[in-house]
């Protein structure tokens, strides 16, 4: 007989709480930029424009197992700034706790794109989620036409798995996505 998943059972799947400004992971881009993932702070944001963010029916809701962190970049001169944010939510592929996976996303300011910040951020987030929880899979997906993001995920060590047809609803309709994964075994 299968037991129901309640909040107590799900609690151990969550990464530990992160205070605003608390650094959970750092790394460097190939160009020498320092990238840090920090606890989210509503007062420290940056525009990450996307044509898909305006929903005609109002804001969409996040699932119960989710979170986000700021991406903070420091250049070689020591100047720091918020580059964007990374987020995650739980996906389920079956009724047991072992069937959960983290699905991640990223939004970066245009000035930070193409500089390795997305690659470093997504690798750091995947490593942190795998280290902080018992889950063995982190996945990311991107629009089939977003070749730059596909390359960033591949450079971050994520493996391309295939296309999910009409998997994502956006303000302009349904979109096909390319899905990638990073497994605990990939880090060994």
Per-position pLDDT tens, the chain of length 188: 334 444 444 455 667 778 888 888 898 998 888 888 888 777 776 666 655 555 455 554 444 578 889 999 998 888 888 899 999 999 989 887 788 899 999 999 888 888 899 999 999 999 999 998 889 999 999 999 999 999 999 999 999 999 999 998 888 899 999 999 999 999 97
Domain boundaries, position 17: 7-51+64-136
2: which 2 tokens?
A: 């299968």
Q: Are 168 and 55 in contact (CB under 8 A)?
A: no
**Overall number of domains in the chain:** 1
122/135 Cα distance (integer angstroms) = 17
Look at the block and give the residue holding tokens 């009724």. 95
Q: What is the pTM of this model?
A: 0.81
- Whether residue 159 is contained in a domain is answered as no
């Amino acid at each position: 007989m299968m037991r129901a998943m309640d909040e107590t059972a799900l609690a151990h799947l969550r990464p530990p709480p992160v205070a605003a400004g608390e650094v959970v992971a750092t790394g460097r881009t190939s160009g020498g930029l320092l990238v840090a993932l920090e606890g989210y702070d509503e007062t420290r944001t940056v525009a990450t424009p996307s044509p898909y963010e305006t929903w005609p029916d109002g804001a969409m809701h996040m699932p119960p197992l989710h979170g986000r962190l700021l991406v903070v970049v420091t250049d070689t001169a020591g100047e720091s700034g918020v580059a964007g944010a990374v987020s995650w939510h739980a996906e389920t592929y079956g009724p047991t706790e072992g069937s959960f996976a983290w699905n991640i996303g990223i939004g970066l300011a245009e000035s930070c794109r193409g500089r390795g910040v997305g690659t470093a951020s997504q690798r750091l987030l995947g490593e942190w989620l795998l280290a902080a929880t018992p889950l063995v899979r982190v996945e990311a997906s991107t629009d089939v036409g977003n070749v730059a993001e596909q390359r960033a995920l591949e450079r971050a060590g994520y493996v391309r798995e295939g296309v999910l047809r009409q998997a994502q609803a956006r303000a302009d309709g349904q979109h096909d996505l390319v899905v990638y994964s990073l497994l605990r075994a990939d880090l060994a």
